[in-house]
A and B are shown apart, each in its own frame.
Chain A
Amino acid sequence: MYSEDESITRRRFLGGATTAGAVALSSLARSEHAAAEPPSAHAGNEALPPAWFEGPDPSIPKAGLRWAFSATVFFADRVMINTMDSPAGRGYTSVGGGEIWGPRLQGRVLPHSGADYYKTTFTTYYMFQAADGALIFIHNRGTMRRFAAPYERGKPLLPPPAPPAKQDAVWTRFRATPVFTAPIGPHDWMNRTVFVANSQRQANPDHTVFTYYEVL
């Protein structure tokens, strides 16, 4: 166990010893997320209607998504072991804290409860704390891919222009698939529901909003 003093020292150390790789990644991530799909403003916890998607013929079962909740996450320390260009590259981005709102879950991101320990894909482990105090473990796997322009239904996604072309218009499709472990009780439904999420990086102050959908 770290004492409070030791952990503060550790944070101070990280603040002073951030590697060039982490700085580069940090700015890269910012530009990648700048071109995310335009967010729709939402007042808070009211439910939104589910969206249904279908295949080319009626024998294919429809798939539905319903907004479950969102999490505003403030990341803290960023560390790189090697670089992302190396097969051994491992990143660490710690979760400072945040807020959870939406129709099916409200609460907070438990401060300093974990991190994203990513390689080429995201692998995140941290804790939610629901408004009733329940601790919910989130293990999140994520994929990320860049395209020339945002997805439009019925149109193929095209690869992004090669650097050094302007990257402003690039669309990053970040999708996360969390597996939750929730205590038996009102949040038990999270133990038996498949989720898919997206993320949008926001500035001033720098944070990321994750939108979690239940797969119906």
Chain B
Amino acid sequence: MRDFVVPKTDTKIVGKIELEYAFKLAAHYDPPQQSHTPRGTFRYQDIVSGEVSGERVNGTVYPDSGGQYDTVRGDRIRDVDAHFMVKADNGEWLYMEHVGYRRPDGYYRAIAYIETDLTGAYEWMNNTTFVVTAKESADQREVVFYYYIAN
């Protein structure tokens, strides 16, 4: 391995991030279907429907437009990988992707990446990082995602 000498720098700095609440999404899922794979337990859950609500966006999850394609690891933590489409009330489409962890201790957090029409009303969501806190029902079929913008 080639070496690298770290040059001296003057100050150690800590940059700020502020979260700003944006909207919530209530998702309704089919029961999870699990299968054993070389990577762990694959857990598929179809998104049946859902509602988006907030000051800056309201809409509907396009039925059966995707779901969660998670992996339950050996340590019982679930790697969350969710993809689906939302149709906003004004007719524009949103592609939503979520990457995160759901732990047995109740920690259910993710990062959401959203892609929208460059000329549309929700263009502000492009190149915006969303921090997501999720709450799950006991049967895991109702999940509410709360989206905060990382400003």
Contacts and interface: CB of A to CB of B under 8 A. Distances in A.
Interface of A: 4, 7, 36-37, 39-44, 48, 51, 53-56, 60-63, 65, 67, 70, 72, 74, 96-99, 101, 108, 110-112, 121, 141, 143-145, 151, 153, 157, 173, 175-177, 179, 191-194, 196-200, 202, 205, 207, 209, 211, 213, 215
Contact of A74 (B7, B55, B110): B7
Contact of A173 (B21, B109, B151): B151
Contact of B2 (A7, A43, A67): A7
B109 A42 contact: no
A194 B7 contact: no
Interface of B: 1-7, 9, 11-21, 24, 55, 75, 77, 99-101, 103, 107, 109-111, 113, 124, 126-129, 131, 133, 135, 146, 148, 150-151
Given A179-B99, A192-B101, A108 B6 contact: yes
Contact of A63 (B19, B24, B101, B103): B19
Given A121-B127, A175-B129, A196-B131, A42 B12 contact: yes
A120 B105 CA distance: 37
B14 A111 contact: no
Contacts of A215: 109, 131
B94 to A, nearest CB: 15
Contacts of B13: 39-42, 70, 200, 202, 209, 211
Contacts of B75: 191-192
Name, among B24, B111, B113, the residue most crowded by chain A CB atoms within 10 Å (CB to CB): B111
Ranked nearest first, the 7 interchain pairs of A and B with the lowest CB-CB distance are A97-B4, A111-B4, A39-B13, A55-B21, A175-B129, A53-B19, A151-B151
Interface of chain A: mostly helix, strand, loop or mixed: strand
A74 B7 CA distance: 9
A6 B1 CA distance: 13
A143 B129 contact: yes
B67 to A, nearest CB: 20
